[in-house]
Amino acid sequence: MADAAFPQATAPAKPSDDPTRNATLGRALLHLWPYMWPGDRADLKMRVAWSLVLLLAAKVATLVVPFTFKWAVDALGGTGSAPVQPDNWAMWLIVSPLAMTLAYGSARVLMALLTQWRDGTFAKVAMHAVRRLAYRTFVHMHELSLRFHLERKTGGLTRVLERGRNGIEEMVRLVILQLIPTAVEVGLLTAVLLWQFDWRYVLVTLLTVMVYMAFTYKATQWRIEIRRRMNDSDSDANTKAIDSLLNYETVKYFSAETREADRYDRSMERFETASVQTYTSLAVLNAGQAVIYTAGLTTVMIMCAIGVRNGTHTVGDFVMVNAMMIQLYQPLNLMGMVYREIKQAIIDIEKMFSVLTRRAEVQDRPGAQPLRVESGAVKFEDVLFAYDPDRPILKGLTFDVPAGKTVAIVGPSGAGKSTLSRLLFRLYDVSSGRILIDGQDIRDVTQESLRAAIGMVPQDTVLFNDTIRYNIRYGRWDATDEEVEAAARTAQIDGFIRMSPKGYETEVGERGLKLSGGEKQRVAIARTVLKAPPILVLDEATSALDSHTEHEIQEALERVSRNRTSLVIAHRLSTIVGADEIIVLDQGRIAERGTHAELLAAGGLYASMWNRQREAEEAREKLALIGDEEGAPNRAPPPVDDPLVAPTGAAG
């Protein structure tokens, strides 16, 4: 009956494992265009237009350079092909080799200045696009469901963001500042060759360009697969390093330093192999490009040399065609680099956009209104849920958490206790049924207002690598220092904080590892106190603490939960004895419910769990007592007939 609803919990379809298979320059530019030409920024549009003007001006200056070189050489040789024939000393000074050389230098300087001016003008556009896209992706990553983040490795995900951000910068820079200028320059140089020489020069030049680009394309396609393997191995090594360092203490507990180093080294070995192949293939590419270009350059120069010998061209023409071909080589060489880098940028950008276009599993419905909290009553109504359709977790739960009351959820591991808190926070949506707060289906209200009304003290408190004050203030960002410290006093951590040399400015370290478990829990409680939510969720908040610390934390929790609607997910039954109602889950269903006394009297699952925990507690107390007695200075020696103790003087 209930299982029919579980297919609704299927995770959203995953994007292709390799989102770069269909990646193209057109797709990437289509994605980037709104960021390169932002509709709401007239100043950035003006920068784009001005950059194009500077681009054309720089290319015109670039074309002047070979001409001034030719005129200087002809002036030196007296061949009469200078732009003006001198008929007096004044004109001779203008068209003299010195003047032409100065003109040559001036043209090169002007070309460089215009190019740098263009790059500086467009930098604001490029970096604004990078910033906007990176911001949007970062925000979207937080909007994606918990399921998405549990399926991904943090190191790999941050690598996608980093590479995507760099890929955007490369794409914008290369397409606007390199690819388009190169295409313009090749076109203009071809026109000049046709004008100054003849169609044969153009034909040789175009054939050189076509063969050069065809070779570059083929070689780059080959190299992209190698580059992809290198990036994958780099991500794998980075993920393993982050994972191992985040679990530093676990590595130490199991003396696993060598094993972790071997895992990391295996990933780095794959990275090394792929990197060597990358550099080797780059050498092959560069060598092939040099051979193709040199063949075209030599052919054109031989043709011009024959023309000089026949008197149809001057030595200046020979120098000019050489300068133009060398000038053509620079954008050609750049085209090869641009193609390689753009292809890699496309790969990185597509991976980023595959995350950006991933639909959030939990979304606000159209027209969702803020949650209106009047009393804070919570109701689970025939709730079914499964992370995987083949493995249902909750099977038709119905229960109430009355306003201002405390309801505890207990049960064996895997019964679905923590899933309830995730559903209440809408980290997942129910497969079937409803969760209501003051009669409002939580799927009909905004997620922001829902989560603002609920406070959470989790079992495993993870803190930001910042100060204690920062971590407490995270509960309510506009709180004053006095309110932060008042919350710390309520959570019984103010005294500890003030004993530290830096007080509230004490750094807690990565994930709060500089603090003990109890101290981290108190910070979490203080954070929740500062938030002051009407509904409180305590998800096994004391299960990882020792008995002494547990009692102290429990007092703070009781103080915080007073007069609040509280849902307590408990492992240690001693912490929920005073709950208004205790619900016992077993295999996703409610097995028992009632007060502590009622459940003990029923002699069911709860009573069995209680007795086992009491026996374990008594055993621990006895062991502790024996340990104290063995440590006593006047303890009597054991009897000789104790089978575990040898008599005095007996052989060991």
The pLDDT tens digits for 391-438 are 888 888 899 999 888 899 988 877 778 888 889 988 888 888 999 999
Q: What pLDDT shows up at residue 16? A: 43
Task: Give pLDDT, residue 639.
Answer: 40
What is the mean predicted confidence (pLDDT) over 180-187?
77
Q: Locate tokens 């024939």: which residue?
A: 85
What's the confidence (pLDDT) of residue 8?
37
Alpha carbon distance 420, 409 (integer Å): 9
Q: Tell me which residue has tokens 């009469």.
A: 80
The mean pLDDT of 14-36, rounded to a whole number, is 61
Q: Are strands 565-569 and 535-539 parallel, antiparallel or unpaired?
A: parallel
Residue 187 burial by CB count (10 A; 0-12/13-18/19+): exposed, middle or buried? exposed
Per-residue pLDDT at 544: 52
Does the model's pTM come out above 0.85? no
**Residues 155, 205 within the same domain:** yes
pLDDT digits (tens, 9 = 90+) for 313-348: 888 878 888 887 887 777 777 666 777 677 777 777
| Phi, psi angle pair for 456, to nearest 5° | -130, 130
Q: What percent of the chain has pLDDT over 90?
A: 5
Q: Is residue 328 part of a domain?
A: yes
Distance CA 443, CA 447 (A): 8
200 falls within a domain: yes
How does pLDDT run across 108-165, given as a tens digit for each residue?
Answer: 888 889 888 988 888 888 788 778 877 877 777 777 766 766 666 555 666 677 777 7
Distance CA 585, CA 591 (A): 6
Question: In terms of DSSP H, where are the helices of 438-516?
Answer: 447-452, 468-473, 481-490, 494-499
> Which of 548, 550, 528, 530 shows the shortest CA–CA distance to 540?
550
Q: Say which CATH number the domain at 95 has.
A: 1.20.1560.10
In this structure, the answer to whether residues 499 and 539 fall within a common structural domain is no
Lowest mean pLDDT, pick from 2-11, 67-76, 416-425, 507-516: 2-11
Cβ-Cβ contacts under 8 Å for 239 (sequence gap 6 or more): 153, 154, 155, 156, 159
Q: What is the mean pLDDT of residues 289-318?
A: 85
CA 189 to chain centroid, in Å, comes to 44
Q: Are residues 407 and 539 in the same domain?
A: yes
Give which of 30, 32, 324, 283 is closest to 191, Cα–Cα: 324
**Domain range holding 102?**
16-356
For 524-542, what is the mean pLDDT? Answer: 83
3-state secondary structure of 255: coil
If asked whether residues 504 and 489 sit together in one domain, one would say: yes
- At residue 652, the pLDDT reads 36
pLDDT band at 106 (very low <50, low <70, confident <90, very high): confident
More confident residue, 649 or 292: 292
Residues 266 and 399 in one domain: no
Contacts of 177 (CB under 8 A, 6+ apart): 118, 119, 122, 126
- What are the CB-based long-range contacts (under 8 Å, 24+) for 246-250? 246/510, 246/511, 248/513, 249/513
Is residue 481 domain-shared with residue 562, that is, in the same domain?
no
CATH classification at residue 581: 3.40.50.300
Q: Give the pLDDT of residue 625.
A: 67
Q: Does any domain span residue 11?
A: no
**pLDDT confidence of residue 39:** 66
pLDDT surpasses 80 at 353: no
Sign, CA dihedral 256-258-259-263, equals: positive
Q: What is the 3-state secondary structure (H, E, C) of 66-108?
A: HHHHHHHHHHHHCCCCCCCCCCCHHHHHHCCHHHHHHHHHHHH
The answer to whether 21 touches 343, Cβ cutoff 8 Å, is no
What pLDDT, on the 0 to 100 scale, is given for residue 650? 38
The two three-digit tokens of residue 523, written as one number = 């910070």
The answer to whether residue 28 scores a pLDDT higher than 80 is no
Same domain, 97 and 244: yes
What share of the chain has pLDDT > 70, as a percent? Answer: 81
Inside any domain, residue 647: no
* SS3 label, residue 515: coil
For residue 558, the model assigns a pLDDT of 76
Tell whether 633 is covered by a domain.
no
Residue 30 sits in the same domain as residue 148: yes
The two three-digit tokens of residue 32, written as one number: 């980037």
Measured distance CA(377)–CA(535) in Å, rounded: 8
CA distance 551 to 577: 13
Identify the three-state secondary structure at position 55. Answer: helix
Q: What is the pLDDT of residue 531?
A: 86
Structure tokens at 432: 């079937």
CA distances from 187 to 56, 119, 331 (A): 12, 21, 11
Residue type at position 603: G
Residue 510 sits in the same domain as residue 554:
no
Is the pLDDT at 482 greater than 80, yes or no? yes
More confident site: 230 or 357: 230
- From its phi and psi, is residue 83 left (phi > 0), alpha (psi between -120 and 50) or beta? alpha
pLDDT of residue 526 exceeding 70, the answer is yes
Bridge partners, residue 400, by sequence: 379
What values do phi and psi take at 383, rounded to 5? -80, 125
The answer to whether position 87 is within a domain reads: yes
Domain boundary among 532, 556, 573: 532
> What confidence score (pLDDT) does residue 344 get?
72
The domain total for the chain is 3
Distance CA 48, CA 122 (A): 6
Q: Are 291 and 410 part of one and the same domain? A: no
Tens of pLDDT, residue by residue over 562-607, are: 788 889 888 878 888 888 899 998 888 888 999 999 999 988 888 9
SS3 state at 554: helix
The mean pLDDT of the chain is 77
What is the mean predicted confidence (pLDDT) over 349-360?
A: 74
pLDDT in tens, 40-71: 677 787 888 888 888 888 888 887 777 787 77
Which is more confidently placed, 155 or 180? Answer: 180
CA atoms of 521 and 459, how far apart (whole Å) = 8
Better-predicted residue by pLDDT, 463 or 33: 463
Residues 201 and 350 in one domain: yes
